[in-house]
Structure 1
Amino acid sequence: MALVATLSVVTLTSCAPSSSSSSATAPPDTAVQHAQFGAPAAPDGHTLELQSDVVVVGGGHNAVWGASSDGTTWTLDSNAPGMDQLAVDKVLLATGYATGRIVQITKDGDRTDVVLAPIAITDLVKNGEVRFDQEVNPGELDVQGFDGGSITDTTEGGDGTISPVSLITPKEDYGDPLRDKPLPVPAKEFSKKTEDWELSGGTGADGLHFAVTTEASGLKVFATGTLLFDALHINLGMVIANSVAGGARGRVSGIQGVKVDVQAGSQNQGGSTIKKEFKLPFEIPIQTLIGGVPVFMKLSASVVVNAALVGTDATITGSGEWHLGSGLDVKIQDEAVTTNGDQDLKVVKSIMDSISGIALGGAVFNLGFKFKMLAGVGAPYFGAGGFATLTVTVGIGIGSALGSPFVLCRSASYDMALGTGVGIVTEPNILTSLLERIPHVKDVLPDDGLTRQATKPILHRKQTMPENQVCVGSGDEDK
C-alpha cells in the first residue's frame, strides 16, 4: 500500500545548514547554494520508501563543490557521509538536483566527480506520494539558465536540431573542477544567442515573458509574449505503489491570459517561411521537502514561430492582450483534463485593430507559447514525475484568401490546449552530449514507454475583417 507524504514547503532562505563530517575546506551551506544546487537530502526513512539501490550522500551543500552547466556532472566532497557507497549504476541522492543514475565516478583526493543520467521517478521512490501544493508568486521566482537550449527547424527539408558545441569536455585538471562551465546561479532574466536568433526573457510580477529576435538572410523578426498569472496555485503530484507510478493528479489555477507583440519583415525575393520551435534556455525550480526527500516543481517553456511572408519586402505587425475572465482553473485526473467551463475570453487590447503591413501575396505569423509544469525529482535539466502543459497560440494575417489586390484583409486567431502526463522530461541536447561522452548511458536510460501524455484543445477563436468571401474564403469563423 502506498505511503502518503506530508508536504513541507521549504524557502530558499530558510534551509538550515546540515552538519556533516565532510572536509573542513568544503564550501559553506548558503541560501545561494540552495537555489543553485537544490535542497539537502535527509530522508526520514518512512514517509517515502526509497529503492534499495539509492545511495544518500549526507552533508547537504557542505558535500557539494560544484556542478557543470548542463547539470550532469557533480563534484562532491570525497569525505562526505555515504560517498564510500557510491558505485556505477546506483542512484545518487545528495541534494534536490544532485539526483540521478550514476554512470561515471572519477575520484581525485578530496574531490570526486560523479556523472549522472536521467532516472524515472520509480527509480528513486518505491512507495509514497510525491506532490507539490503551493501558491506561486512569479515576481519572487528566479530562472536557472543553461547552455542546452535547442532550436528545432521544422521547415520541410530542414536540418533538424541545431546542437550547440559539446557542453562538457573531459577535465584534465581535477584540482579545479568545473571552472570553465559551472552551473549558473539563478537570476531574474535569461538570454541566449544562436547563429541567427537571440532568445531572452525571465520572470516578473505579472508572469513569464520572452522575446525572440533575428536579423539574418534578409529576415527581421521581433516577437515578444507574456503568460499572465494572477494568484497562480499549483497542486500536482502522483502516487507510487510497488514501483509503479499512477497518473498525474491535481489542480492548477490562476493562469490569467497572454499578451503578444509581433513585428516581422522579409527582403527576400519570393518572401520567407519560418517554422521553428525554441526550447527556452531556462528552468524555474521551486523546491519542497517530502519526508526529507527534495522534490521540486519545475516550470519550463518553449516558443513556436510559424510564419509565411510572401513576396519581396513583405511585412506584418500586430499586438494584443487577452484575459480569461476569472482565470483558468484546470483539474487533472490521470490523463483526463477538465476546465472551469467554457472559457470567457476577454479582449483587453484588440490585435485586429493593430494588424498592419505590406504583403501583396499575403503574410501570416503564428506565435505559440508552451508552458510546462513538472512535479518530481531529478537533476536540473532532467526531470521525472507528473506534468501538465498549457499551449497558447496567437496568429495574425494580412492579405486576401483569394489573392485580391483590391481588398486589405486582416485576420486573428487565438487557440489554447491543455495536456497532462507522467514520465520523464529531458533537454534533448544535454542528453545527446551525455551520450557522446559516455556511450553506455543508453543502457541505463529509463524506458520511453514510461512516459504517458494526452492533450485536449480547450479554446478556439478566429476573426477576419472585412467579413466577405474575398477575405474569409472557405475558412471558419468564430465570432
Structure 2
Amino acid sequence: MRTRLLTLVASLLLAVTACSSGSITGQGSRSDTRRDTTSTGTPQQQQAFGYGARPTGVDYQPDVVVVGGGAAAVRGATDDGLTWTIDAHAPNAGRLRVGSVLLMTSIVAGRVVALTDGAGTRRVTIAPVQLNEVLRNGRIDLHRAIDPATARFQLVPGLQIGPSTPTKDDLPSSFRAQAVTATKPLPPPSISPSFTIGEWKVGLSYSTKKIGATVEHNSTDGLKAAVDMSFKTKNLSIDGAYGVSNGRTTSSGFRINGITGFELGFSVGVGVKKDLGSKKVALLPSGRLSVTLPPGPETAYLPITFALKYKISLSFALGGANATLNGLGEYGLAGPIGIAPSGDVLAPKVSVVRSLTDSLAGLSLAPSGAVFAVNIKGSVGVGPSLFNAGPNAGVTVAVGVTYGSALGAPLTLCKSVFLNVDISGGASVEFDSSLVGVLQKVLPNTKLEFGLETKKRVVDLSSVTPKIPICGA
C-alpha cells in the first residue's frame, strides 16, 4: 500500500527573491574547470564528508552551485550535521546565496537557509533537498557490494532524541518524544558505536556476517533487560535505480541483497518487590552507517552516499514482581529485500532455523509478554547527516512472545510467538516523525510536508504451544 511519510521542503523567505534576481543561474554547470576536485581530501575526510562533486558533465538544476575542493575544503560541522564551515576560497564558494542549492560532496549538499562569513571561511546552514532538486536529467543505476572495511557509523548527537513511546507503525500506542540537543562539533565516524539514550545503552555493529543492535537497561524502575537483534548477512550488496527527466522523477527502486536471516536473543526481568506493569519504548539512534561513493557512470556522475539507519522498538508486560523472561530464536530470510523500479515489493522467504517458542523460559506469577522490533532502512543519494535524498527501502522485523504463569504450569504452560515482517520504500528524503520538533527548532524556515512511500506486510506468522484451546490455539 502507499503511505505518507514526512519529507522536507525548504520554504525560504528569501528564496523567491534570490532566484528571480538572476543571481543563481546554473553555476553548477559553469564552474571553475581548471582541475577536478572530486577526489580531493584524505581517505578519512572522504569517509566523513563524502567525495567531491563534478563541476561539469552533469545536468544539474539551474540553482545548484557546485563548490570545489571536495572534502579537503570542509572545515567542520555542527553536531546536527546541518551547518557546515567551508573554505571561503574554494571554487564557487563565493557564489552561494540563501536559496541556492549547495553541492560540495555527497554529504555537504542541501538548500542554503543561512549564510555567514568568517575569517577565510563561510558558515552555511542547509536544509535537505530531494534528489530531483539537484539533478535535472540523469539516471542512477548502481550495483555495489558493501565492504565492511569501508563502512563507518556517523553519530549526529545534535539530533538525538530521548527514549519515546513507539508510534502505531512500531508498536500500538500514542507517540511523544523529547528532544536532546547539544552544540558540539560533529564527532568523527566510528566503526561500532555504543552510546546511551536516556537509561538505555545501545550498541550498533556491522561486519561481514551481521548488522546488529544490542540494547541494555538496568535502572531504578526495576527493569533489567539485555536484547540482541541482528540481521545475518552474506555477500551484502545493494541495487539502486533512479531516473529523472526535466526535474521529474521517472523511476525509482532500491533493494538489499545478502540478508540471510534474523536472530533474536533476550533476557528481561524486574527487580525485587517491583511490579513493572507494562513499558513501551522507541529508541532512534541519531546516526547512520554509511559508505561514500565517488562520481561515475552508475551514479549519474554524482557523488553519492549509501546510508543505513536503525530504529528499535520494545514493549514489556512482565507478570508481577521478580518476573523473568528469556529466549533465543533464529529465522532464515532468502531473497532480496526492497522495492523494484516497477513498484513491486521484494519480499524474502522466511523459515524457522531455531525455534523461539521452544527456547522460551521464565518465572512469573502471571502471564508475561514482550515485543521486539527493529527497522533498518538503506538508501543511496545525497544529503547531510540523517537525510539521504534518493531511492530507499527498509525492512522491519517484529517478534512478540507470551509466556504463561507459574501458577498455571501444573496444568499447562502456554507459550506463543508471532513474527511480522514489513517492507517499505520510496524516493523522497524521509525522516522519522519523532524528529519533527527538533528539526523545527534547527530549521525554523523549513516546511514539513508529506511524501509517499510503499509499505507492505509480507510476513505474518504465529505459533502456539501446546496447541490446545486453553492456550488460544
Report if TM-score (shorter chain) is over 0.5. Answer: yes
What is the alpha-carbon distance in structure 2 between the residues aligned to residue 359 and residue 19 of structure 1? 73
Letter of the 1:286 counterpart: V
Picking from 38, 41, 50, the partner of 1:38 is 50
Q: Partners of 2:251 and 2:312 in 1: how far apart?
A: 27
> Do the aligned residues in 1 keep the contact of 2:36 with 2:54 (CA within 8 Å)?
no
Q: Offset of 1:117 from its aligned partner?
A: 0.9
Corresponding residue of 1:230: 234
Task: Say whether 1:259 aligns with 2:275.
Answer: no
| 1:287 shift after superposition | 2.4
Q: How does 1:140-159 map to 2 (within 5 A)?
A: 140-147=150-157, 148-150=159-161, 151-154=163-166
1:160 aligns with 2:169: no
Task: Find the aligned partners of 1:74 and 1:429 in 2 and give their Cα distance.
Answer: 24
Q: 2:357 is matched with which residue?
A: 352
Letter in 1 for 2:303: P
| Equivalent residue for 1:312, pick from 312, 321, 325 | 321
CA gap of 1:44–1:291, structure 2 versus 1, over 3 A, is farther
1:194 CA displacement: 2.8
Q: What secondary structure, in the 3-state scheme, does the structure 1 residue paired with 2:378 have?
A: strand
The percent identity for this pair of structures is 26
How far apart, CA to CA, are the structure 2 residues paired with 1:364 and 1:416? 19
SS in 2 for 1:35: helix
Matched, 1:114 2:124: yes
Deviation at 1:403, TM superposition (A): 7.1
Q: Distance in 2 between matches of 1:339 and 1:91?
A: 37
| Displacement after TM superposition at 1:423 (Å) | 0.9
Q: Which runs of 5+ in 1 are unaligned?
A: 1-17, 23-27, 169-180
1:55 maps to which of 61, 65, 76: 65
User: 1: distance between equivalents of 2:95 and 2:150?
Assistant: 38
Give 1:192's aligned residue.
Answer: 195
Partners of 2:377 and 2:433 lie apart in 1 by: 16
In structure 1, the partner of 2:84 is 74
Are the equivalent residues in 1 in contact too, given 2:254–2:379 (CA < 8 A)? no
Equivalents in 2 of 1:21, 1:229: separation in Å?
Answer: 37
2:393 is aligned with 1:388: yes
Matched residue count: 427
| Distance (whole Å) between structure 2 residues aligned to residue 253 and residue 396 of structure 1 | 29
Q: CA RMSD in A?
A: 2.8
Q: Can you list the C-alpha shifts for 1:249-305, whole angstroms capped at 9, x where unaligned?
A: 254321101111111112465433122221123312222323542112211111111
Amino acid at match of 2:92: G
Q: Which amino acid aligns with 1:36?
A: A
Distance (Å, rounded) in 2 between the aligned partners of 1:435 and 1:33 = 29
* CA shift digits 1:147-193 (9 cap, x unpaired): 133333149997711210x333xxxxxxxxxxxx2222222111221
User: Residue 337 of structure 2 contacts residue 423 of structure 2 at CA under 8 Å; is this kept in 1?
Assistant: no
Residue matched to 1:5: none
Q: 2:216 — aligned with what?
A: 213
Following the alignment from structure 2 to structure 1, what is the Cα–Cα distance between the partners of residues 455 and 254? 16
Contact 1:236/1:250 (8 A) holds in 2:
yes
Taking structure 1 as the reference length, what is the TM-score of the superposition?
A: 0.82
Match of 1:287 in 2: 292
Provide the C-alpha distance between the structure 1 equivalents of 2:433 and 2:175, rounded to a whole number of angstroms.
16
- Shift of residue 438, structure 1, vs aligned partner: 4.8
Matched, 1:240 2:250: no
- Does the Cα contact within 8 Å between 1:139 and 1:205 map onto a contact in 2? no
Question: What are the superposed Cα offsets for residues 4-49 of structure 1, whole Å, 9 maximum, x if unpaired?
Answer: xxxxxxxxxxxxxx98799xxxxx8210000001111114334xx2
For structure 2, the 5+ residue unaligned runs are 1-32
- Distance in 1 (CA, whole Å) between partners of 2:337 and 2:112 is 39
Q: Is the contact between residue 332 and residue 420 of structure 1 (CA under 8 Å) also seen in structure 2?
A: no
Do the aligned residues in 2 keep the contact of 1:397 with 1:410 (CA within 8 Å)? yes
Contact 1:321 1:351 in 2 (8 A): yes
SS across alignment from 1:424: coil
